[in-house]
Amino acid sequence: MTDNSIKISVTVNGQHHELEITPFETLLELLRNRLDLTGTKKCCGEGECGACTVILNGRGVNSCIILAAEADGSEVLTIEGLGEGGKPSALQQAFLDKGAVQCGFCTPGMIMAAHYLLMSNPHPTEEEIREGLSGNLCRCTGYGKIVEAVRAAAEAAGKAAEDER
Ligand code: FES
Ligand code: FES
């Protein structure tokens, strides 16, 4: 490590890490290169496509334009942190069930953006889903199946909450 290295601590998917990073390292590079969390994808590297979306302190962000140093003391959730016991989350399963995954490159970022959308708005309209995912680009699906998957996951979560009452 060089003299200008920076020590940070960050919690990723519930696991605490103490790391030495370089000043211009991005959060995306930290996740992929240091923690081997390669589910988060790099595509444009400029904050334009959403492939690198993660949840940072409860907000959906493009990790390619966040410096790792900015994440010091933060909590990060990545695609690997969804689901439990090796099983996909309901949202991940809905993407599979509705055929919303084709080449899959956009999928982790799309799911994290959808996860953030449903955290902040559990019952989104179709327009709100399209708006919520507007920063995430997909070259394959035409978006219809992605919107359907998010709506199905939201409906299933709403029904599950009603059944618990
Ligand atoms: S890779 Fe980060 S927004 Fe495209
Ligand atoms: S599934 Fe291929 S880019 Fe979205």
Which of 26, 31, 40, 52 for mutating ligand 1's site (highest number of atoms within 8 Å of CB)? 52
Q: Residue 114's pLDDT band (boundaries 50, 70, 90)?
A: very high
For residue 2, the model assigns a pLDDT of 56
Say if residue 1's pLDDT is above 60: no
pLDDT digit string, tens, across residues 21-33: 999 999 999 999 9
Q: Which domains does the chain have, with CATH numbers?
A: 6-81 (3.10.20.30), 90-164 (1.10.150.120)
Q: Model-level pTM?
A: 0.95
Which of 52, 111, 112, 140 for mutating ligand 2's site (highest number of atoms within 8 Å of CB)? 140
Q: Residue 164's pLDDT band (boundaries 50, 70, 90)?
A: confident
pLDDT > 70 in the chain, percent: 98
Say if residue 40's pLDDT is above 80: yes
- CB-ligand 2 contact for 139 (6 Å cutoff): yes
For residue 80, the model assigns a pLDDT of 98
DSSP one-letter string for 67-87? BGGGGTT-EEE-GGGSSBTTB
pLDDT digit string, tens, across residues 55-101: 999 999 999 999 999 999 999 999 999 999 989 999 999 999 999 99
pLDDT digit string, tens, across residues 134-154: 999 999 999 999 999 999 999
Mean pLDDT of 104-122: 97
**C-alpha–C-alpha distance, residues 154 and 93, integer Å:** 12
Sheet containing 53-56: which strands, arranged edge to edge? 15-21, 6-12, 75-77, 53-56, 59-62
pLDDT digit string, tens, across residues 41-66: 999 999 999 999 999 999 999 999 99
Residue 41: which H helix or E strand, with range?
none
The residues, any chain, with a CB within 8 Å of residue 129's CB and separated by 6 or more, are 114, 117, 147, 150, 151
Q: Residue 159's pLDDT band (boundaries 50, 70, 90)?
A: confident
For residue 165, the model assigns a pLDDT of 75
